[in-house]
Structure 1
Amino acid sequence: MEADGVARSGRIRIAWSVEGPADGTPLLLIMGLGLQMVFWPPGLRRLLTDHGFRVARFDNRDVGGSTHLTELGLPSPLVFLTRRWRGYTLADMAGDAVSVLDDLGWQSAHVLGVSLGGMIAQTTAIRYPDRVRTLTSVSSTPSPRIGRPHPRATVALAGLPVRDREAAARQMVRVFRVIGSPGYPHDEQWLREAARHSFDRAHDPDGVRRQLSAIVSAQDRRPGLRRLRMPTLVLHGAADPLVRPSGGRATASAVPGAKLVVYPGMGHDLPGALQPAIVDEVDAVARQWTPAD
């Protein structure tokens, strides 16, 4: 059973989609920097629904079908030197995630985020602990100062602007040839299709820069993570050049009782060969949750 909708987070509209059994276990997926919800691999989503999850995903603000804050303009390069930006914060983006839970009628859910999505998931758990059953942070970090990208990853992300859907498809393949998993094959045909679909839905490179500004201006979340008491899973690729493994280790070290799994050969993606193992880990941590009295 699938459905689509639009949640309201103040004046922000957040486009979402949900699939899986109507009575399934609620799971919220939060995507990374500049990527729309169409980039959640269909095979991963299918495995999750087969495990009995009701899976919701959404477009973060400034991408896809959600509100694009064009009035904020293009952030100044000084943001990346001063680490100060007044546009919006990861806390605002966590509020967007909670608005999706509200729109779905979910009092709480298991929350899984990748990269920027992991940062938003961490922030959601810190600010709204009663809404987060378990936290799964993938390829992420508790601070922009931990796990900094390898220079080659930075160069790959700073590619030339694209002007059409075919150029967007080529660029996406180029990026994931750098940041993806060296130990596993890439489904480049799917990447091209997802990039074309994303370009057709909404192409907004300034929006990506605004999201990046929220990342670099974020405070260290480790003090907040130390207060968490929900079951927590941290997954990371040993070969991740974009958020290096120290980011995952720091996240797991901060959360009491967190489980850390580092996959050899995995980069900054979700390779198909590892998806069954990833879903098994997500299912196992979800089973640790017990409802509050």
Structure 2
Amino acid sequence: MARAQANGLELEYDTFGDPDNPPLVLVMGLGAQMITWEDGFCELLAARGFFVVRYDNRDVGLSTWLDHLPAPDLAALAAGDLATAPYLLSDLADDAVGLFDALGIARAHVVGASMGGMIVQQLAIDHPDRLLSVTSIMSTTGDPAVGQAEPWALGLLARPPASTREQALADSVDGYRRLGSPGYPDDEAFLLAKATLHYDRARHPVGTLRHAAAVVASGDRTSRLQDVRLPALVIHGDADPLINVSGGKATAEAIPDAELLVIPGMGHNLPHAVWPTVVSAIGRLTGQ
């Protein structure tokens, strides 16, 4: 893996496929490291003919942690004091453009999951000239009337950080299982291996809080998405407990001519069984 100087930060990234192929940049979600885009998924995209780039957002993984910034006051944010957010989704979108610049990418296809979907939506709003297409997966527009989480799912995110490695791994496995896809359940050994890989690579709970603040403070993108004129694909699971499928439907309705793909039995993850469907849909969108 490598690091790029971007937007005044260091962003950890790696790549798959031929650099001469059309670039496709993968943007991950709240508190999630780039390795949440599993190697096998990236390899499928590369085999489709893309030059695939995945990276850690700021404040997560091996990219720059912004611990000189305060931990956000989520109660103040919920009460409407948006100035307490250390940064916004637009800053995270600017980071992506900085990565493009560092890698010599003029324009790219972008694919984002969860908060990453919000970031690629923001990219389409702020930097349409740098994009070839946009794919938003298991995400929403920021409209509080859509995409609402099940209360118990929000409770999982609100748990205090574990004080021991053992408890952190147990919490992660529990979260993966309960937020995942009921139609495509993963076995416990896989979930524990995933939790261990992520814990041992990097763990930064306060960065996740700052990500959450950015989501809350960035508001509703619906009206601005109506001005997007890019090939667009929206993918969502009909069993997503963290961002209800209404968020995906609202995203597809907001972006002119966007395609909506709802996957039965998929929750808030990308199970291996749906990879071919997702990669094929991205291929159709991009003509790749």
TM-score normalised over the length of structure 1: 0.92
Question: 1: distance between equivalents of 2:227 and 2:111?
Answer: 19
1:74 aligns with 2:71: yes
User: Any idea what the Cα deviations from partners look like across 1:117-156, whole Å, max 9, x if unmatched?
Assistant: 0000000111000111000000000115121111111112
What is aligned with 1:16? 13
Runs of 4+ in structure 1 over 4 Å off: none
User: Any idea what the Cα deviations from partners look like across 1:52-90, whole Å, max 9, x if unmatched?
Assistant: 111101111110111111122221132233251341000
Q: Are 1:165 and 1:200, in contact at CA under 8 Å, matched by a contact in 2?
A: no
Question: 1: distance between equivalents of 2:187 and 2:104?
Answer: 35
What is aligned with 1:90? 89
Q: Are 1:17 and 1:57, in contact at CA under 8 Å, matched by a contact in 2?
A: yes
What is aligned with 1:265? 265
What is aligned with 2:36? 39
Q: Are 1:79 and 1:213, in contact at CA under 8 Å, matched by a contact in 2?
A: yes
Q: Are 2:77 and 2:85, in contact at CA under 8 Å, matched by a contact in 1?
A: no
The alpha-carbon deviation at position 187 of structure 1 amounts to: 5.0
Q: Are 2:85 and 2:213, in contact at CA under 8 Å, matched by a contact in 1?
A: no
Q: Taking structure 1 as reference, are residues 189 and 40 closer, same or farther at Cα in structure 2, changes over 3 Å only?
A: farther
User: Any idea what the Cα deviations from partners look like across 1:178-232, whole Å, max 9, x if unmatched?
Assistant: 1111111225434333332332332211110010000011121112111111100
| Identical residues among aligned pairs (%) | 44
Gaps of 5+ in 1: 289-293
Question: 2: distance between equivalents of 1:114 and 1:83?
Answer: 27
What is aligned with 2:218? 218
1:1-293 → structure 2 map (5 Å cutoff):
4-76=1-73, 77-82=75-80, 84=82, 85-143=84-142, 145=144, 146-287=146-287
- Letter of the 1:225 counterpart: L
Gaps of 5+ in 2: none
* Range that drifts further, 34-43 or 167-176: 167-176
The alpha-carbon deviation at position 254 of structure 1 amounts to: 0.6
Question: 1: distance between equivalents of 2:40 and 2:280?
Answer: 14
Size of the aligned set, in residue pairs, is 285
